[in-house]
Amino acid sequence: MNPIEIATLDLNLLVVLALLLEERNLTTAGRRLGRTPSAMSHALGRLRVLFGDPLFVRVGHGLRPTPAAEALRAPLDQALAGIADVLRPAAFDPATARRRFHIIASEYLQLAVLPDLMPHLRREAPGLDLVIRPVPADLEAALATDTDLAFGVGFSAPESLRRRHLGSDRFVCVRAAPWPAELDPTTWAALPHVLVSPGERPGGPVDDALAGLGLRRRIALRLPGFRAALEIVAQTDLATTLPERLVHTQAPAGLHTCPPPLDLPSIELVALWHPRVDADPGHRWLRSRLPAGPRLAGGDAAR
């Protein structure tokens, strides 16, 4: 029987058949189903038409199954058990689970999130594997198809995705020479800068803020990675503007930092996922182990 034929079948009849095989009495089976003897008799009539067999014959006050009905007992039990498995919520046991999650994360987000996340996974779910992917051109499409999760920043995250707050960061200016006590936007913009641009995407919050003041900085070097930028800044007269957390954990000794001389948005770190995986037990467990809070510590509810 193909799915189209099954669509025309009242699957409740299979439950009736299973109870009649067990109880061998219309009244008793009907009581368990909350049906009257008349309704049960009608259901039995439909079953006889469906299978082309009497299925049960009356003996005394009860029913005796025919050979055809007895032959249906085992496959019927298997079919009902299979349906129950389909309807039962999937369980997830992190201690025994074997699963691979694909996660999108830039170099910065890898450094900001994974050192806090991985100890939890190794301790609580050693069978879970993570595959980190670079940021694609179309984040929404990737999460809608073959990627489980993305780590990103709130001001560039698509609103259609689910999100969880992972913490906050802020931009700082970095160079090898000490910064003046008072730094104005014009003087700062005139410095030769290193721009870290993963994926070679143009612009960003720094250049947007400068454009709002009618200013433009000189980009002497554009790089895709943060670590190289910090090493080069340490050995040249170049300046760069990077997230404070990354500078504190990755910068060589001796670099000087200061707040930017213009208003820049705070960096709200977020985990992003598609609604298609929102209710998945394994995915929910992984999200529950992500760091959360104002500085990657504390608590924040998922949205």
CA distance 59 to 279: 51
DSSP helix/strand/coil, 28: helix
pLDDT band for position 297 (50/70/90)? very low
**For residues 246 and 149, is the Cβ–Cβ distance under 8 A?**
no
pLDDT for the residue 54 = 93
Calculate the CA 146 to chain-centre distance: 11
Contact 241, 204 (CB under 8 A): no
Kindly list the distances between the CA atom of residue 242 and the CA atoms of 71, 196, 205, 275, in Å, as whole numbers in the listed order: 73, 8, 11, 32
286/77 Cα distance (integer angstroms): 36
- Give the C-alpha separation, 219 to 215, whole Å: 13
Q: Do the domains at 3-87 and 171-258 have one common CATH topology?
A: no
Residue 219 has pLDDT above 90, yes or no: yes
Length reported for the chain: 303
Of 176, 172, 171, which is closest to residue 253 (Cα–Cα)? 176
pLDDT tens, position by position, 4-34: 556 667 888 999 999 999 999 999 999 999 9
Alpha carbon distance 41, 47 (integer Å): 10
Q: What is the CATH number that goes with domain 3-87?
A: 1.10.10.10
Mean pLDDT in residue range 76-85: 85
**pLDDT category, 88, cuts 50, 70, 90?**
confident
CATH 3.40.190.10 fits 171-258, yes or no: yes
| pTM for the full predicted model | 0.68
- CATH code for the structural domain at 99-169+267-288: 3.40.190.10
Q: Domain locations in the chain?
A: 3-87, 99-169+267-288, 171-258
**For residue 303, what pLDDT is reported?**
28
Residue predicted with more confidence, 265 or 293: 265
Q: Tell me what pLDDT residue 200 has.
A: 59
